[in-house]
């Protein structure tokens, strides 16, 4: 008799669960339909309007956001297949979500990152995220970032020497891959404690794999038919995804195992002086003691076994991705835009000369604080071409925007790119004007009008690291060279994948020696 009651009970529970899902879906549909947005088709939503060409898609989205900025004030309803989403790109709306400790759950799109990054700091939510954020925050303490400055200088000088080769015949150089290799070596040393030698090996498999993975994930995110794993994995795009994923994981696993072996040989190896580095004159120098990000994670593992080696891999993969691809794009676009604006470049050169004179000494942390105009240039670059164009959240409770209910469980797309184009906050937004970020100008804006590193409790934990790295890298280049861009921005074809990158990987500039 008891067994006879099991099936009806199971069916009842399933029916109640299904009914609950339907009620939630209808509620979301009813409320989201009150917001304005482009016409959509059943099941496919707005997917039929998404161009396969990444640059065309990027431009079309800009036009759509401009249209609905005028019509609905920076709110736009979209349908990603059968899933409704609300796109936010007005400061007052962004603040409601970003400033809340309730809305920290990442949107469904981030599920596609999980095979690569696991449930690390970027993709996790709830108590796991709170615990992980608290655990990792000390690893970005100022004193640790200070120790990384040596790495920034060393790798920047390697890049500068490579760039000198292109000044002999004034031939154009594609700056983007060279910047990318430099940043990858920086990240590998600071994160893993060892170089990937990307600057010495320009056919670097890891760099290509990161770029290709970004493309594959972007294609999948735009096409809801590719969202189910059982479909995606059977197609060639899914098989290529798995091959690319293996390259990425093999690289980080190898480095973790090598570091583990080193620590087994000498538990204090990470704190020993590294005396095999060469100085600028080719002589051997003794570097400051340096601890890699991985060393700190391994120490956490030794102190707390619940923080496993798999957890370490998640955070290392996250740091390698977020600290490499995003920073390379930001530094590359900064050089490219500087090369388009001689007046900006002249002010930068004057600032470099005031701080460094004719000295070839390494950049110090004190120097970085004395380069305010360079800081403005980087900030303006990140306004026009933010490394991360959008972030996605899933609401954990109802919110009110412009007097309308946005229901719990709604996917919201926070368009950083669209936000930074708001003409009310940034008049003539397409104009490159670093003076926007002089203190007297910046203080007039809404505090959530500019969020290249996100904002609120879930802001980027590594933003100070990124700014120190970019300033050191750009200062090293600007002290030595004058830059002239030989492509227009349109010809470089910026497009938003996981990050905004030149779609064909090309930023052509000419370099000439200053001194």
At the fourth CATH level, which superfamily is domain 33-513? Cytochrome P450 (1.10.630.10)
Confidence of residue 12 (pLDDT cuts 50, 70, 90): low
Confidence of residue 26 (pLDDT cuts 50, 70, 90): confident
Tokens (6 digits) for 362:
């390494």
Share of the chain above pLDDT 70, in %: 90
Cβ atoms of residues 80 and 47 within 8 Å = yes
Confidence of residue 156 (pLDDT cuts 50, 70, 90): very high
Tokens (6 digits) for 98:
């970003």
Phi, psi of 161 (to 5 degrees): -65, -35
Residue 240: pLDDT over 70: yes
| Residue matched to tokens 């670097």 | 204
Residue 267: pLDDT over 80: no
DSSP assignment letter at 41: B
Q: Give the lowest-confidence range in 94-103, 154-163, 167-176, 377-386.
A: 167-176
Residue 500: pLDDT over 50: yes
| Residue 88 host element (H or E) | strand 83-88
Residue 284: pLDDT over 70: no
DSSP assignment letter at 452: B
pLDDT at 467: 96
Tokens (6 digits) for 340:
């388009």
Confidence of residue 51 (pLDDT cuts 50, 70, 90): confident
Residue 479: pLDDT over 50: yes
pLDDT at 17: 66
Would the CA dihedral through 64, 68, 74, 76 be positive or negative?
Answer: negative
The arithmetic mean of pLDDT across residues 193-197, rounded, is 80
Cβ atoms of residues 478 and 484 within 8 Å = no
Cβ atoms of residues 410 and 395 within 8 Å = yes
Q: What is the dihedral of CA 221, 451, 177, 435, to 10 degrees?
A: 140
Cβ atoms of residues 344 and 293 within 8 Å = no
Confidence of residue 169 (pLDDT cuts 50, 70, 90): confident
Phi-psi region of 299 (alpha: psi -120 to 50; beta: other; left: phi over 0): alpha
DSSP assignment letter at 209: H
Confidence of residue 11 (pLDDT cuts 50, 70, 90): low
Residue 285: pLDDT over 60: no
The arithmetic mean of pLDDT across residues 263-278, rounded, is 48
Cβ atoms of residues 113 and 429 within 8 Å = no
Please give the Cα distance from 103 to 107 (Å, whole number): 10
Average pLDDT, rounded, for the chain = 87
For strand 508-513 and strand 173-174, is the pairing parallel, antiparallel, or unpaired? antiparallel
pLDDT at 253: 87
The arithmetic mean of pLDDT across residues 250-274, rounded, is 67
The arithmetic mean of pLDDT across residues 11-38, rounded, is 78
Residue 271: pLDDT over 50: no
Each domain of the chain, given as residue ranges in start order, spans: 33-513
Q: Give the lowest-confidence range in 301-315, 372-386, 461-475.
A: 301-315
Q: Give the lowest-confidence range in 25-34, 230-239, 268-277, 355-364.
A: 268-277
pLDDT digit string (tens) for 400-458? Answer: 999 999 999 899 999 999 999 999 999 999 999 999 999 999 998 999 999 999 999 99
Q: Give the lowest-confidence range in 104-108, 116-120, 285-289, 309-313.
A: 285-289
Residue 268: pLDDT over 90: no
pLDDT digit string (tens) for 329-382? Answer: 999 999 999 999 999 999 999 999 999 998 989 999 999 999 999 999 999 999
pTM score over 0.85:
yes
Share of the chain above pLDDT 90, in %: 54
Residue 120: pLDDT over 50: yes
For strand 411-415 and strand 83-88, is the pairing parallel, antiparallel, or unpaired? parallel
Please give the Cα distance from 179 to 413 (Å, whole number): 30
Residue 483: pLDDT over 70: yes
Burial group, residue 261, by CB count within 10 angstroms (0-12, 13-18, 19+):
exposed
Tokens (6 digits) for 189:
């040393």
The arithmetic mean of pLDDT across residues 158-165, rounded, is 93
Phi, psi of 506 (to 5 degrees): -125, 125
Confidence of residue 264 (pLDDT cuts 50, 70, 90): low
Q: Extract the runs of DSSP E, i.e. beta strands, from 1-82.
A: 75-80
> What is the Cβ-side half-sphere exposure of residue 410, based on CA atoms within 13 angstroms?
30
Query: Which residues partner with 85 through β-bridges?
Result: 78, 411
Helix axes 205-222, 236-265, angle to 10 degrees: 140
Residue 20: pLDDT over 80: no
- Angle at alpha carbon of residue 191, lines to 190 and 196, rounded to 5°: 80
| Residue 298 host element (H or E) | helix 293-303
pLDDT at 48: 78
Phi, psi of 494 (to 5 degrees): -65, 140
pLDDT at 279: 43
């Amino acid at each position: 008799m008891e067994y006879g009651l099991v099936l009806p009970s199971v069916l009842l529970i399933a029916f109640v669960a299904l009914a609950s899902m339907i009620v939630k879906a209808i509620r979301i549909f009813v409320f989201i339909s009150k917001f304005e947005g482009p016409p959509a088709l059943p099941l496919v939503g707005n997917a039929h309007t998404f161009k396969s060409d990444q640059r065309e898609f990027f431009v079309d989205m800009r036009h759509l956001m401009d249209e609905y900025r005028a019509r609905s004030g920076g709110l736009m309803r979209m349908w990603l297949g059968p899933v409704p989403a609300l796109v936010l790109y007005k400061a007052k709306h962004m603040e409601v979500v970003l400033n809340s400790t309730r809305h920290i759950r990442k949107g469904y799109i981030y599920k596609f990152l999980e095979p690569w990054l696991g449930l690390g700091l970027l993709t996790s939510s709830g108590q796991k995220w709170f615990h992980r954020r608290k655990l990792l925050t000390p690893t970005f303490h100022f004193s640790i970032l200070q120790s990384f400055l040596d790495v920034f200088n060393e790798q920047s000088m390697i890049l500068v020497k490579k760039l000198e080769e292109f000044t002999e015949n004034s031939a154009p150089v594609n700056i983007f891959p060279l910047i990318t290799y430099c940043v990858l070596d920086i990240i590998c040393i600071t994160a893993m404690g060892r170089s990937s030698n990307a600057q010495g090996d320009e056919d670097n498999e890891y760099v290509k794999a990161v770029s290709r993975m970004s493309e594959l994930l972007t294609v999948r995110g735009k096409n809801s038919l590719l969202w189910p794993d059982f479909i995606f994995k059977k197609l060639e795009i899914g098989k290529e995804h798995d091959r690319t994923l293996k390259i990425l994981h093999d690289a980080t696993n190898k480095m973790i195992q090598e570091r583990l072996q080193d620590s087994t040989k000498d538990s204090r190896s990470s704190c020993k002086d590294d005396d095999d580095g060469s100085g600028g004159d080719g002589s051997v120098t003794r570097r400051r003691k340096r601890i890699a990000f991985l060393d700190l994670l391994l120490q956490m593992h030794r102190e707390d076994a619940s923080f496993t080696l798999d957890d370490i891999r998640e955070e290392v993969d996250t740091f390698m991705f977020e600290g490499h691809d995003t920073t390379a794009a930001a530094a590359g676009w900064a050089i490219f835009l500087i090369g388009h604006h001689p007046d900006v470049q002249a002010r930068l050169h004057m600032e470099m000369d005031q701080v460094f004179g004719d000295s070839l000494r390494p950049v110090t942390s004190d120097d970085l604080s004395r380069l305010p105009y360079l800081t403005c240039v980087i900030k303006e670059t990140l306004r026009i071409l933010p490394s991360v164009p959008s972030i996605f959240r899933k609401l954990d409770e109802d919110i009110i925007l412009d007097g309308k209910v946005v229901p719990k469980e709604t996917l919201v797309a926070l368009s950083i790119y669209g936000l930074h184009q708001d003409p009310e906050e940034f008049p003539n937004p397409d104009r490159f004007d670093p003076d926007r970020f002089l203190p007297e100008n910046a203080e007039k804006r809404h505090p959530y009008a500019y969020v290249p590193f996100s904002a609120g409790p879930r802001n980027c934990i590594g933003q100070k690291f990124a700014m120190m790295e970019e300033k050191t890298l750009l200062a090293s280049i600007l002290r030595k060279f004058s830059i002239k861009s030989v492509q227009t921005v349109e010809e470089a074809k910026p497009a938003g994948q996981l990050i905004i990158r030149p779609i064909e990987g090309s930023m052509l500039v000419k370099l000439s020696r200053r001194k």
